[in-house]
């Protein structure tokens, strides 16, 4: 029984790692798409990109979050966007540990 458990653990762990890697790969595909749309000439595309980037922040690492936040910040300071980073439901601005 112990031998079966020892043999099972590496297979289980490699499955978890493969699943995590696949999820990160999908996250990056979405992020690349949204970042590409963020530079569009179309106001609608930029607004959709902003919303997508805000949604992607939930699963971003700190470095990825900084990249996304900076992109959103640049969109907003250029005067091309009306929306803010944060929850639309409660109207409060989202705060991040790296935000000063």
Cα–Cα distance measured from residue 27 to residue 91, given in angstroms and rounded to the nearest whole number: 26
Residue 26 lies in a domain: yes
Within-domain flag for 59: yes
Write out pLDDT tens, residues 21-49.
Answer: 999 999 999 999 998 888 888 888 888 98
Residue span of the structural domain in which 21 resides? 2-77
Domain count, the chain: 1
Residue 94 covered by a domain: no
Per the CB < 8 A criterion, the answer to whether 62 and 98 are in contact is: yes
DSSP class per residue in 14-58: HHHHHHHHHHHHHHHHHHHHHHHHHT-S-HHHHHHHHHHHHHHGG
> Residue 99 domain-assigned?
no
Q: What is the pLDDT of residues 36-85, one digit of tens each?
A: 888 888 888 888 988 999 899 888 889 988 988 888 888 767 654 444 44
């Amino acid at each position: 029984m112990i031998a079966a458990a020892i043999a099972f653990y590496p297979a289980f762990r490699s499955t978890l790692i493969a699943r995590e890697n696949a999820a990160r790969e999908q996250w990056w595909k979405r992020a690349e798409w949204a970042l590409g749309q963020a530079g569009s000439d179309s106001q609608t595309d930029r607004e959709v990109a902003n919303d997508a980037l805000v949604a992607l922040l939930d699963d971003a690492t700190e470095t990825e979050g900084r990249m996304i936040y900076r992109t959103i910040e640049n969109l907003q300071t250029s005067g091309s966007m009306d929306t803010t980073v944060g929850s639309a439901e409660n109207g409060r601005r989202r705060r991040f540990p790296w935000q000063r």
